[in-house]
Structure 1
Amino acid sequence: MDIEVWLTFIAATTALLAVPGPVVMLLLGYAVSGGRSVAAAAIPGVVLGDMVAMTLSLLGVGAILQTSATLFLVLKLAGAAYLICLGLKIWISEAASTSGERSDDTPSRTRIMRDAFLVTALNPKDIMFFVAFLPQFIDPTQPVLPQILLLELTFAGLVVFSTTAWVLLADRVVRRLRNPKTQRLVSRCGAGWLVAAGVVTAATQ
């Protein structure tokens, strides 16, 4: 792979990862409820989820999704339902803390990583995006496997950098918003955004 193509891939991926999405809202919710270390537990899940989506696209699953409307719909609705459930959990947890109740359902780091993984991997649109995105950077006249490995490792590194930056930014915002009412508002906005993202995902083609 030519260095120019690789640098173009880095620039394009960096621009894409700079746009906040459901994962960023999830990180924000965890940063509000548990701080930087809790939100950081989601990073491995995000990376693994993206790697699974990318690998599935390269294995031809994306092509199957393009031809099977039923399978695409099932995966899309599953991902949408999971986003909505996560948003409702964060909202209910915040409501419980507001009323003075102690929640016994404090998420473990394993559960946080699982949530981030499923939010990232359970999105057929991500798989189809990779189907359209990756071939632009692969030269068919050169060995394909080394190029795929380079793109996957590069993407994984950029995801780690991006999610770490979002976690640090979320933690900084939370630290500045020391007023409990403001923190509660931020948490609920994140929860509402997840629910809205789930509804939009389910409703769009």
Structure 2
Amino acid sequence: MQFETYLIFLVTTAVVVFSPGAAAVAVASQGAANGGRRALGGVFGIASANAVYFALSATGIASLIIASNLVFSVIKWAGVGYLVWLGLTALFTPAGAIRVKRSGRQSSLKALFAQGFVIEFANPKALLYFAAILPQFLDINAPIVPQILIMGMTTFLIDLTSYTAYAFLGDRLTRGEMKNWVVGLVNKCAGIALLYAGFRMAGVTVMR
């Protein structure tokens, strides 16, 4: 892989990852409710889910999943249901799965990791992205495995950097001792963002 090609892959992936979405909202909420450092559990969950999708795409299994309407639909609708549930919880319950106000009780690292992993793994857009983009950057005249490893590690590091920033952004929100109405507004915005992401995900289809 030429260096110029790698830079294009780096910039493209960074733009996609840093764009706020359901995972960013979730990890920012984890940071607000549990602190930035503890929210790293969710960050690693999201990065791990993307690593799984990257590996599937690199080995060609993603093509089989995308080709199967049943498997793809199961992943998509499970993700839609989970995001809608999170969004409704944030909108209509004072202390649900998404909390922007910090309390004395904090979630375990395992629970935060699991939430981050499920939210990202249930998003078929990540699978579509890797399946579509990887072949565009591979140099078939050079060894394939080193290129896959370089792009995989690059993606993992971008994930960690991006979602760590969102986690500490959420942490900073609560350190400012926000008024209750501001906390409520942020919770409502998070809920709406998650519902919007769920509805957008429901419209995801595979171009055949």
> How high is the TM-score relative to the length of structure 1?
0.85
Any residues of structure 2 matched to 1:15-164 within 5 Å, and which?
Answer: 15-91=15-91, 94-95=94-95, 107-164=107-164
Q: Where does the alignment leave 5 or more consecutive residues of structure 2 unmatched?
A: 97-102
- Map Cα deviations across residues 154-176 of structure 1 (whole Å, 9 max, x no partner): 11111111111122222233334
SS at the partner of 1:94?
Answer: coil
Greater shift, 155-164 or 103-112, is seen at 103-112
Q: For 1:107, what is the secondary structure of its paired residue?
A: coil
Structure 1: give runs of 5+ residues left out of the alignment. 97-102
Q: Deviations over 1:50-72 (max 9, x none)?
A: 10111112222321233222221
TM-score when normalising by structure 2? 0.84
| Alignment-derived partner of residue 5 in structure 1 | 5
Please give the root-mean-square deviation of Cα atoms over the aligned residues, in Å. Answer: 2.4
Distance 2:191 2:76 in 1: 19
How big is the shift at 1:187?
A: 1.9
Distance 1:36 1:88 in 2: 24
Matched position secondary structure for 2:94: helix
Q: Is the 8 A contact 2:33 2:171 kept in 1?
A: no
Distance 2:25 2:177 in 1: 17
Tell me how far 1:3 sits from its aligned partner.
Answer: 1.9
Q: Which amino acid aligns with 1:82?
A: Y
Once the two structures are superposed, residues 78-114 of structure 1 have per-residue CA deviations (whole angstroms, 9 ceiling, x without a partner) of 1111212233344455357xxxxxx998532211110
Q: Check conservation: 2:83, 2:198, Cα contact below 8 A.
A: yes
Partners of 1:81 and 1:104 lie apart in 2 by 29
- Number of aligned residue pairs: 199
Residue number in structure 1 paired with 2:187:
187
